[in-house]
Amino acid sequence: MRALDVDYMLGLLPILLGYVPLTLFMAVVGMAFALVLAALMAVERVVRIPVLDIFVRLFISFFRGTPLLVQLFLFYFGLPQMLSFLTTINGVTATIMGLTLHFSAYMAESIRAAILGVDRAQWEASLAVGMTQAQMMRRIILPQAARVAAPTLVNYFIDMVKSTSLAFTLGVTELMGAAQKEAAGSFLYFEAFLVVATIYWIMVEALSFGQRRLETFLNKAHAR
């Protein structure tokens, strides 16, 4: 047993904090794309567009049915062998792609459930005033589904922030990769990864705070 090298940790902290923007960048961009893709797939699953429905179901099945790490390796190491224009894909882009596709499959299912949970009367009222299906979804149904889906979607976002650490397996020097390099020099693995764990933990706590604010905002139409 040895003592924890607190000075080393305090010295490492600012270095590793410098990688937080990259982590957040991958997560935020991945989340933005994933939300749009998931909403589109969820609406498709509810209205069932022939042929397209088969592809959407296949997509969701594949990306929920295989590990994220395997998907990242497929995109980064595998696909460029098959499609030559992908040989220039960098690790950050591949990670964002993988996160987007993987999490959109999960999120599509939560959004679909939330859409189906919106009172039938809301659909009928939208149609009765002459809205098209697209207008009804965009203006009335999806905003109400968002309120129901929000806690689950924030959970996926939290998971996505942490999953950016897999980018390190594609050779990206992000939070995890940087800690790995530092520890390899100092041999203080416990200290290095404890700092990494603390940084992730604080980020997630900040997001949980944001989640409460978001839920209050989305509930404002329902407060009595």
Partner 1 sequence: MISVQNLNKSFGATPVLQDISLDIQPGERVVVIGPSGTGKSTLLRCLNFLDTPDSGKITIGDLSVDAAHASRADILGLRRRTGFVFQNYALFANKTARQNITEALVTVKGMSRADADARADTILRETGLEARADAYPASLSGGQQQRVGIGRAMALDAELLLFDEPTSALDPEWVGEVLDLMRKLAESRQTMLIVTHEMQFAREIADRILFMDDGRIAEEGPPADLLDTPRDPRTRAFLRRVG
The residues that touch partner 1, with contacts defined as CB under 8 A, are 119, 121-122, 124-132, 135, 139-140, 143-144, 147, 220-224
CB 141 to partner 1: min, Å: 9
* Shorter beta-carbon distance to partner 1: residue 68 or 145: 145
CB 132 to partner 1: min, Å: 7
Query: At 173, is the secondary structure helix, strand, or coil?
Result: coil
* Shorter beta-carbon distance to partner 1: residue 3 or 221: 221
CB 144 to partner 1: min, Å: 5
CB 126 to partner 1: min, Å: 8
**DSSP strand E in 156-204: where?**
none
Q: Are 41 and 56 in contact (CB under 8 A)?
A: yes
* Shorter beta-carbon distance to partner 1: residue 213 or 222: 222
Inter-helix orientation angle 20-47/52-65, to 10°? 140
CB 50 to partner 1: min, Å: 16
CB 155 to partner 1: min, Å: 22
CB 151 to partner 1: min, Å: 17
* Shorter beta-carbon distance to partner 1: residue 15 or 129: 129
**4's torsion region: left (phi>0), alpha (psi -120 to 50) or beta?**
beta
* Shorter beta-carbon distance to partner 1: residue 11 or 151: 151
* Shorter beta-carbon distance to partner 1: residue 119 or 205: 119
In angstroms, rounded to a whole number, what is the distance separating the alpha carbons of residues 126 and 138? 11
Give the residue carrying structure tokens 């009765």: 128
- CB burial string 58-95: b at 16+ within 10 A, e below: ebbeebeeeebeebbbebbeebeeeeeeeeebebbbbb
* Shorter beta-carbon distance to partner 1: residue 82 or 121: 121
Of 20, 7, 31, 25, residue with least CA distance to 202: 20
Of 40, 30, 33, 34, residue with least CA distance to 142: 40
CA dihedral 115→120→122→127, nearest 10 degrees, is 100
Give the number of C-alpha atoms closer than 13 A to the C-alpha of residue 23, restricted to the C-beta side.
26
